[in-house]
Chain A
Amino acid sequence: MNAAALLLRYLSISLRGQLQYRASFLMAALGNLLNCLIELAGIWVLFDRFGTLSGWSFAEVAMFCGAVNATYAIGELLATGFDQFGTLYVKTGDFDRLLLRPRSTVLQLAGHELSLRRLGRLLPGLVIVGAAWAALEIPLEADRVGLLAFAMAGGVAFFFALMVLQATMCFWTTESLELMNILTYGGVETASYPLPIYHRLFRRFFTFVVPLACIGYFPIVAVLGVDDPLGTSPMFQAAAPLAGFAFLGVAMGVWQLGVRRYTSTGS
């Protein structure tokens, strides 16, 4: 069986498992949905009070917010195995079993679970993007839609990479630490607002070290068709999502280093 077929097999088993607990799934999905809507409500409250955010409108900020939420949801959906890696595989020593199988560990962990409750963040995220698109009367052109899809694909790679890095840390710490939440949940919060409002150091960090802005702010500025107050060129904005894939490449390298360092807990 080739890798793709095996991954599909894994995921379909996971889906069937989750559908055994429908109430629990619905509840968790509802919770995710509400969290996403709260975030948007928080933005709306501030716009209602202040009218503008250094020249950006509510619909524009909603576009940032919706896109990053949808992107993060897909990344999280695919990387659940990495998200729970410390607790489920390192602490218990179950990672030994994955290493014994003649398949890559990344493939097996990606197939660990397709966590359906993440749909609770994906759907409202997409609806918000659609509503903002309509409200801003952005022409529905192929290159804009294509760029948004490319940005989201880069974003999925980016968030997947973050989960892989979080899992890699478990080779040293055994239990997963809350620290990565800064970049995952904190990243979603950060990318929900336009980059220029942040301090210079934060902007550089989220462009050059952890390329969050390359999969959120820069390409979306091009989709919105506004001039970037930071002065980047449309060429750069369109190419920026590539950084998400590069980040994933780096994360995979780090993962391999971690796997080599793995010693079983033996329990």
Chain B
Amino acid sequence: MKQTPRIASLPPAFGSWRDIRPLVAVVSARYRTLLQYRAAAFAGFATQLFWGAIRLMILAAFFAAATEPQPMNLTEVVAYVWLGQALLGMLPWNVDADFRQQIRDGTVAYDLLRPLDLYSYWYGRTLGFRVAAPTLRGIPMVLFAMVLLPLAGLGDWALIPPASAVAFAGFVGSLVLAAMLATAVTLLAHISLLWTISGVGVDRILTVLVTIFSGLVVPLPLFPDWLQPFLNWQPFRGLADVPYRIYSGNIPPAEIVPELVFILVWTVALVLLGRLILLRGVRRMVVQGG
């Protein structure tokens, strides 16, 4: 008899409202776990602070020689760098080690038995993995860059407040969407573990794609003009470039809504792709261990 997989039909992109409760539970569990490692959080904070300072000095040295107007001014670049450091953990640059372990030792089988829509359940777990750490690290980083730096007389290097109330609202909206997009991308990598098991390769390639094309290495508007048409359509810019530029006003208020739609469309597309691949993955999956 042919076995019917449990998620044979393609449910709506984010499952039904019933899927929300387990989702909330897994996200809050992740926060409580992370709060146990305060020393690690401090070390991470110091690392990102240093990294931000180095990036700023490099970019400022380049700007010092600029004679013609650039697509971004230095104040906008400073905001871009600090927001990038604060929200680094939100970028989908790695896979969840717990998840990899689960696939490797076969305990993933328990997940298949849960009376939940598998994709929604994994989406919730991955969302927790993606957003918990950056909120713990991000808030002190923003406070430092926005409040402490001006007090220390380094106002030129400080994170400016949002360009306007509209820009702030757009920033918050784009950040929520960016978290959802980042989760969808990470989940694609998680699902690919069903094939590759080790995930070392996927991890590396993901890091490379994300760091370059989200704007983390160099703000995307500073890339050569001939590359801009490509950069403007690829999904990774929704992770960092769009929210940071909305914040600083580099993306004017009139363009905010189309940009939000841009991130949303990519998120839905990647969620649907993830569901499709998961469907195939579960059919052919071999559970490890015994």
Q: Do A and B come from one complex?
A: yes
A residues contacting B by CB (< 8 A) are 24, 27-28, 30-31, 34-35, 38-39, 41-42, 45-46, 48-54, 173, 175, 177-179, 181-182, 186, 189-190, 193, 197-199, 202
A189's nearest neighbour on chain B, judged by CB, is B54
Verify A181–B47 contact, CB threshold 8 A: yes
Q: Does B33 count as interface, using CB distance less than 8 angstroms?
A: no
Q: Does B212 count as interface, using CB distance less than 8 angstroms?
A: yes
Verify A186–B51 contact, CB threshold 8 A: yes
Verify A46–B222 contact, CB threshold 8 A: yes
B57's nearest neighbour on chain A, judged by CB, is A198
Q: Does B208 count as interface, using CB distance less than 8 angstroms?
A: yes
B63's nearest neighbour on chain A, judged by CB, is A50
Verify B224–A48 contact, CB threshold 8 A: yes
Q: Please indicate the chain B residues that have their CB under 8 angstroms from the CB of A202 in the complex.
A: 53-54, 57
Q: Does B64 count as interface, using CB distance less than 8 angstroms?
A: yes
Given contacts A35-B208, A186-B51, contact A45 B58 (CB under 8 A): no
What CA separation (Å) do A24 and B207 show in the bound complex? 17
Q: Please indicate the chain A residues that have their CB under 8 angstroms from the CB of B217 in the complex.
A: 38-39, 41-42, 45
Q: Does B200 count as interface, using CB distance less than 8 angstroms?
A: yes
Given contacts A38-B217, A45-B222, contact A178 B65 (CB under 8 A): no
B56's nearest neighbour on chain A, judged by CB, is A199
A50's nearest neighbour on chain B, judged by CB, is B62
Chain A at the B interface: SS class: helix
Which residue of A24, A27, A34, A51 is within 8 Å of B65 (Cβ)? Answer: A51
What CA separation (Å) do A65 and B113 show in the bound complex? 51
Verify B47–A197 contact, CB threshold 8 A: no
A26's nearest neighbour on chain B, judged by CB, is B201
What CA separation (Å) do A177 and B47 show in the bound complex? 11
Q: Does B50 count as interface, using CB distance less than 8 angstroms?
A: yes
Verify A27–B57 contact, CB threshold 8 A: no
B51's nearest neighbour on chain A, judged by CB, is A186
Q: Please indicate the chain A residues that have their CB under 8 angstroms from the CB of B61 in the complex.
A: 53-54, 193, 197
Verify A30–B204 contact, CB threshold 8 A: yes
A28's nearest neighbour on chain B, judged by CB, is B200
Given contacts A31-B205, A46-B222, A49-B224, contact A179 B46 (CB under 8 A): yes
Give the distance to chain B from A32, nearest Cβ to Cβ, in Å.
8
Q: Does B198 count as interface, using CB distance less than 8 angstroms?
A: yes
Verify B43–A178 contact, CB threshold 8 A: yes
CB 8 Å contact bits of B23-65 with A (1 = contact, 0 = none): 0000000000000000110011011001101100111011111
A-B interface contact total, Cβ < 8 Å:
95
Verify B47–A193 contact, CB threshold 8 A: no
What CA separation (Å) do A39 and B208 show in the bound complex? 10
Q: Please indicate the chain A residues that have their CB under 8 angstroms from the CB of B198 in the complex.
A: 24
Q: Please indicate the chain A residues that have their CB under 8 angstroms from the CB of B224 in the complex.
A: 45, 48-49
Q: Please indicate the chain B residues that have their CB under 8 angstroms from the CB of A41 in the complex.
A: 212, 217
Q: Does B211 count as interface, using CB distance less than 8 angstroms?
A: yes
Q: Please indicate the chain B residues that have their CB under 8 angstroms from the CB of A49 in the complex.
A: 62, 70, 222-224
B residues contacting A by CB (< 8 A) are 39-40, 43-44, 46-47, 50-51, 53-54, 57-59, 61-66, 70, 198, 200-201, 203-205, 207-208, 211-212, 217-218, 222-224
Verify A190–B54 contact, CB threshold 8 A: yes
What CA separation (Å) do A179 and B44 show in the bound complex? 7
What CA separation (Å) do A202 and B57 show in the bound complex? 10
Which residue of B46, B51, B65, B70 is within 8 Å of A53 (Cβ)? Answer: B65
Given contacts A45-B224, A49-B224, A50-B62, contact A182 B50 (CB under 8 A): yes
Verify B40–A178 contact, CB threshold 8 A: yes
Verify B218–A182 contact, CB threshold 8 A: no
Verify B207–A189 contact, CB threshold 8 A: no
Q: Please indicate the chain B residues that have their CB under 8 angstroms from the CB of A38 in the complex.
A: 208, 211-212, 217
Q: Please indicate the chain B residues that have their CB under 8 angstroms from the CB of A199 in the complex.
A: 57
What CA separation (Å) do A178 and B51 show in the bound complex? 13
B37's nearest neighbour on chain A, judged by CB, is A175
Q: Please indicate the chain A residues that have their CB under 8 angstroms from the CB of B57 in the complex.
A: 197-199, 202
What CA separation (Å) do A114 and B39 show in the bound complex? 30
Verify A31–B47 contact, CB threshold 8 A: no
What CA separation (Å) do A51 and B66 show in the bound complex? 8
What CA separation (Å) do A24 and B198 show in the bound complex? 8
A52's nearest neighbour on chain B, judged by CB, is B65
Give the distance to chain B from A38, nearest Cβ to Cβ, in Å.
6
Verify B201–A31 contact, CB threshold 8 A: yes
Verify B47–A186 contact, CB threshold 8 A: yes
A193's nearest neighbour on chain B, judged by CB, is B58
What CA separation (Å) do A31 and B66 show in the bound complex? 34
Give the distance to chain B from A241, nearest Cβ to Cβ, in Å.
22
Given contacts A45-B222, A53-B65, contact A27 B204 (CB under 8 A): yes
Give the distance to chain A from B204, nearest Cβ to Cβ, in Å.
3
Q: Please indicate the chain B residues that have their CB under 8 angstroms from the CB of A52 in the complex.
A: 65
Verify B50–A34 contact, CB threshold 8 A: no
Given contacts A42-B218, A49-B70, contact A54 B51 (CB under 8 A): no
What CA separation (Å) do A192 and B40 show in the bound complex? 27
Q: Please indicate the chain B residues that have their CB under 8 angstroms from the CB of A35 in the complex.
A: 204, 207-208
Q: Please indicate the chain B residues that have their CB under 8 angstroms from the CB of A24 in the complex.
A: 198, 200
What CA separation (Å) do A179 and B47 show in the bound complex? 6
